[in-house]
Amino acid sequence: MRDLEDQILVQRALQSDPESFGELCRRYYDSLVAVARSILPDRHLAEDAAQEALAAACRDLAKLKKPERFGPWAGAICRNVAKDMLRQLRKQQERTEANAGNEPDYQEDDRKAILDQALQQLPQHLREAIFLRYYNEMSYEQMARVLGATEQMIDGRLRRAKKKIAAYLMKKGFRRQ
């Protein structure tokens, strides 16, 4: 039913009903932030990316061929926006590091850093599943709506992601609690 609601909201948004688009934004904002956060290193950047993705979705809304798939579509836009932001961020960092000649600061908590690395070594689609699942404690159903995948597929992705994370952490000396 949610897909149908999305479809109606898209149609209404296309017919001079901005609030319908607002409702779509509210529905997917958290998911989009989680998707962006799986790519970007910072929550605030992820929120910016999600907002930019919604702006891009708004501009291209009329091109959306399957309005019932607004969620996965917005998710894909958000992924691209976040990747672009990450590229820019890296360029900036490279410039700053080159100018200042500074080494990265590794004074963070080791445990946290290792967990970050464990997540970073995951392929993007697995990392995304982890972030969606644990960022806002989303259900499989909610995740499916933004990833455009079945619950079985999501289950598989989470399983594989956890296996990889576990292997990485064990290698780094983490012990099961």
112 makes contact with other proteins (CB under 8 A) = yes
Nearest to other proteins of 16, 99 (CB atom):
16
163 makes contact with other proteins (CB under 8 A) = yes
Contact region for other proteins (CB under 8 A) — 49-57, 75-83, 84-92, 94-102? 49-57
The CB-of-85 to other proteins minimum distance in angstroms stands at: 16
Question: Residue 171's CB: how many other CB atoms inside 10 A?
Answer: 10
Distance (Å, whole) CA 162 – CA 177: 15
Extract long-range pairs of 61-64: CB within 8 Å, 24+ residues apart: 61/10, 61/13, 61/14, 61/21, 62/14, 64/10
Residue 3 near residue 68 (C-beta atoms within 8 A): yes
The CB-of-97 to other proteins minimum distance in angstroms stands at: 26
7 makes contact with other proteins (CB under 8 A) = yes
Q: Hey, what amino acid is at 28?
A: Y
Q: Is 40 strand, coil or helix?
A: coil
Residue 146 near residue 72 (C-beta atoms within 8 A): yes
Candidate residues 18, 41, 123, 148; the one interacting with other proteins per rule CB under 8 A? 18
165 makes contact with other proteins (CB under 8 A) = yes
Residue 49 near residue 85 (C-beta atoms within 8 A): yes
Mask: binding to other proteins, 64-83, rule CB under 8 A, as x and -? --xxx---------------
Side-chain-side CA neighbours of residue 176 (13 Å) = 3
Distance (Å, whole) CA 172 – CA 111: 10
**Residues making contact with other proteins (CB under 8 A):** 1, 3-5, 7-9, 11-19, 21-22, 25-26, 29-30, 33, 37, 43, 47, 51, 54-55, 58-59, 61-63, 66-68, 112, 115, 119, 130-131, 134-137, 140, 151-152, 155-156, 158-159, 162-163, 165-166, 169, 176-177
